[in-house]
Structure 1
């Protein structure tokens, strides 16, 4: 398989481990801090949210391309949920499609519902007009069949849940996430592995186990606490045009 996904180990042992943990904790953001960064960028600096989404998705697509030697030997699946994280996933799909990467979007929602959802809906509409394949997963049979189909894909992109998730992942999403992990496919998470608590690193019932997490503006607190380090894989922090003076 023509893939590259280097691992980074952030936590070692002894006093150095404590230093590294303290450094990353002090330069990472909680869910509330990230939400406030987004708010200020949009409301005070007048940066449209769709620009932030575009930059986020493009960054993820570029990181995925670094994992690919031969585009003719890969197939990429983008797993999208509702909201902005799913919207980021739609942008990822568009850019990879423009790089001529074979792909399909698997959507844990109804297309009609997402099309009503602001920036995410706009980006899904673009995909549909580009005739990028989008498959709805509405019932348990859809999801079971999707997991079987996903076994034929080379790279999975996790855009199911974002940093705003704080409650337990419930069914049917819990079983779907376990099914994805059991495939043992290289998975890239968008901003945060779906199911990891942004603040504590706790697995909220079920969480995607990524080989790479492409996050935005700054690392997230939960990457370095609890279960976080076991689920994020390599963490890549990318710029999405949030003004630097807003980032602690």
Structure 2
């Protein structure tokens, strides 16, 4: 199976969006639907979703929307400055607000009490904080949030890559979500099967999200 670096994946994304004309929000919607497909909806009814403000977080918000539409109990938390969020994150954030789906913001240590309460009453945690572009150490409130997630006994599903894992090397960037399952999108990320990646990714499933072959070939040749 083809393994890609973060730069290669970014190049493939850009080719899909800019050269072919597939809107990023379409790819995000496809990703969300594939993630929901991999959840046992007969077994799980209560979810805690923790999203960042990039495209990985946008995936998580879209997943939350679909689970809510299916009448599942969903608590959605956002960590990070939404004013600096990606365009497609912003679209899904606005949709949730228009649907009157509550969004909880993790802005300080006190907010982790509400996160802990949600986790204690839920069955599954969905991790969509950081995506493949992460290269810095995870510190501060992000570190505390991931620690809260990892201390639970809940099943953890990570979107694309466990938050805190270097997508290229499999190195843990100070701390990392320890997932039971990772749904990685379109192509296998190198870091999932290198070094500590195997330990933190759990079961790895690759799901396609509608990227055409020409975009993948062009992106892989770029780097």
Query: TM-score, structure 2 length as denominator?
Result: 0.92
Per-residue deviation at 1:56? 0.9
1:102 maps to 2:65: no
Q: Where does structure 1 differ by over 6 angstroms across 4 or more consecutive aligned residues?
A: none
Give the whole-Å Cα distance in 2 for the aligned partners of 1:75 and 1:53.
Answer: 23
Question: Looking at CA atoms only, which structure, 1 or 2, has the larger radius of gyration?
Answer: 1
Give the whole-Å Cα distance in 1 for the aligned partners of 2:57 and 2:97.
Answer: 15
Per-residue deviation at 1:170? 1.3
1:152 maps to 2:127: no
Per-residue deviation at 1:145? 3.2
Q: Aligned ranges for residues 45-194 of structure 1 at < 5 Å?
A: 45-64=20-39, 67-70=40-43, 74-110=45-81, 113=83, 117-194=86-163
Aligned with 2:121: secondary structure? Answer: coil
**Alignment check: 8 A CA contact 1:174 1:206 kept:** yes
Give the whole-Å Cα distance in 2 for the aligned partners of 1:91 and 1:200.
Answer: 28
Deviations 1:197-241 (A, max 9, x none): 000001101111111111111110001101000111111111111
Gaps of 5+ in 1: 1-23
**Alignment check: 8 A CA contact 1:199 1:220 kept:** yes
Give the whole-Å Cα distance in 2 for the aligned partners of 1:46 and 1:103.
Answer: 33
Deviations 1:66-119 (A, max 9, x none): x23256xx21111111110111111101111111111110111355x26x6411
Per-residue deviation at 1:182? 0.6
1:228 maps to 2:205: no
Gaps of 5+ in 2: 218-223
**Alignment check: 8 A CA contact 1:86 1:161 kept:** yes
